[in-house]
Structure 1
Amino acid sequence: MSKPIAQLPLVGTVHRDGVAYRAASPVPIHIVTGLIRESWCSRIAVTDASSDGQAPAEFHAMCVVEGEPFVLTGRIGERD
């Protein structure tokens, strides 16, 4: 999965962001919570949005696809 852009089940398009992959668009909360049930994804951490609205809620997940481990990150919210 060393491509700069890839497709992941449920999440859709992801882009290489340093050593991680970042979801190209916000991911609805029901999909974020569903990731833990996927065999390729584990250890999900969610951060709340900041009280001033400057930082959105985000998730970070440890994943393995085609034998390659990586971190998946993204904003939580409705799709753009």
Structure 2
Amino acid sequence: MKPFITLPLVGVVRRDGAGGVAYRTETPVPLDVVSGLIRESWCSRISVTDASADGQWPAEFRAMCIYESQPFVLTGLIGRRH
């Protein structure tokens, strides 16, 4: 696996060192982009977790993906890009 890849809609993602085959977004991804991932042929099975009411945990997404013949899990925060 490459340390960084560029995905359509999402941009640059970095290999997640947590083990397994996973990538994580470098910056928060807007909600409309996350919802658009399901229409991409390379992405499926998207799950979203809500932010905590007290603000300690931000909203996140997790998607099963196959891009350039490489299966992986894509995770990231949901929010505005900075």
Structure 1-normalised TM-score?
0.95
Give the structure 2 partner of residue 5 of structure 1. 4
Choose the corresponding residue for 2:71, options 63, 69, 77.
69
1:79 aligns with 2:78: no
Amino acid at match of 1:50: S
Which runs of no fewer than 5 residues in structure 1 stay unpaired? Answer: none
Aligned length: 79
SS in 2 for 1:71: strand
Structure 1 runs of 4+ aligned residues shifted over 3 Å read none
Could you report, residue by residue, the CA deviation over 1:9-56 in whole angstroms, capped at 9, with x for unpaired residues?
A: 000010111331000100000000000000000000000001110110
